[in-house]
């Protein structure tokens, strides 16, 4: 079981490899037949199995089959993603390789955790046990991939006016939850405008939190710190710590109350 995140031609490329105990012919039916896709795929899907064929998705929109070589390769577009499913014989089973290409780099952990659970659900369905394994924690998987893919740090740059640090992170909680935490922690003089919160920092600088639409049910938060005194390294470390504190506070708020 391996997964990695790279970039190619300006796109993010997520590769996930899983070993299934079922032969490629059986797995092929699971990734191409609508009635079997319904057991694990995150949307209803009706593919026209030919290169250039049209795919209808239940969430709206259509895709196009880009590669087809039964029972070895099935690739297609879905919104702004390209999904490539490779099936390699592995003894009596199959080595499944998913290569997902997309532009939303900050959303990679969300995509990886989602596909991880989908593939595990497919495996259960192939065993004749349809349903999602209750042992999977989507939030824990998401945070695991955040760290594994190096998505837990911001970037720093020097500008004509000083320096600028920026950190964009996908959350697993909705915007209202994140806004409640940010508002509670903000100083009294913080400026609020919609889902943007800004305030000055010591000794010099300004923090700007912005909540934007993310992937799935979670919000995306963009934290920007600008200043002119000192260098960006200390600011980058502080921004990383502030973002992690937000994630930790949201995690604590998610836990059920105990007596």
Q: If you ran DSSP here, which 8-state letter would residue 214 be given?
A: -
Query: Whole-angstrom Cα distance, residue 258 to residue 212?
Result: 32
Going from the first residue of the chain to its last (259 residues), give the mean pLDDT of each consecutive group of 10, the final group possibly shorter.
95 97 97 96 96 92 96 96 98 97 97 95 90 77 96 91 94 95 93 95 88 91 91 88 94 58
| DSSP states along 55-116 | EEETTS-EEEEEEEETTTEEEEEETTEEEEEEEEEETTEEEEEEEEEES-GGGHHHHHHHHH
**What per-residue confidence (pLDDT) applies to 258?**
40
**What per-residue confidence (pLDDT) applies to 251?**
87
Tokens of 16: 């996930």
**What per-residue confidence (pLDDT) applies to 254?**
62
Query: Whole-angstrom Cα distance, residue 135 to residue 252?
Result: 20
Question: Structural domains in the chain?
Answer: 2-148 (3.30.530.20), 155-254 (3.30.530.20)
As to burial, measured by CB atoms within 10 angstroms (0-12 exposed, 13-18 middle, 19+ buried), residue 85 is buried
**What per-residue confidence (pLDDT) applies to 22?**
96
**What per-residue confidence (pLDDT) applies to 74?**
98
In the chain, DSSP finds a helix count (H) and a strand count (E) of 6, 14
Crossing angle for the helix pair 138-148 and 232-254, to the nearest 10 degrees: 170
Query: Whole-angstrom Cα distance, residue 102 to residue 77?
Result: 10
């Amino acid at each position: 079981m391996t997964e990695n995140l790279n970039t190619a031609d300006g796109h993010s490329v997520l590769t996930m490899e899983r070993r299934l105990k079922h032969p490629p012919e059986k797995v092929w039916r699971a990734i191409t037949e609508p009635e079997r896709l319904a057991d694990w795929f995150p949307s209803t899907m009706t593919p026209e199995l030919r290169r250039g064929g049209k795919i209808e998705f239940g969430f709206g929109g259509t895709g196009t089959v880009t590669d087809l070589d039964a029972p070895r390769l099935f690739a297609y577009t879905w919104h702004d993603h390209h999904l490539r499913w490779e099936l390699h014989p592995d003894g009596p089973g199959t080595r499944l390789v998913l290569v997902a290409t997309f532009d939303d780099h900050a959303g990679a952990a969300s995509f990886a955790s989602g596909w991880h659970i989908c593939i595990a659900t497919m495996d259960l369905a192939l065993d004749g046990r349809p349903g999602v394994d209750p042992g999977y924690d989507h939030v824990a998987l998401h945070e695991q991939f955040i760290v594994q893919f190096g998505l837990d740090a911001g970037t720093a740059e020097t500008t004509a006016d000083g320096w600028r640090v920026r950190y964009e992170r996908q959350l697993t909680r909705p915007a209202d939850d994140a806004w409640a935490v940010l508002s509670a922690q903000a100083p009294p003089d913080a400026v609020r405008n919609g889902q943007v919160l800004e305030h000055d920092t010591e000794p010099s600088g300004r923090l700007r939190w912005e909540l934007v639409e993310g992937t799935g049910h979670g919000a995306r938060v963009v934290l920007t710190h600008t200043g002119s005194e000192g260098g960006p390294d200390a600011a980058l470390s502080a921004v990383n710590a502030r973002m992690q504190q937000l994630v930790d506070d949201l995690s604590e708020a998610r836990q059920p109350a105990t007596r």
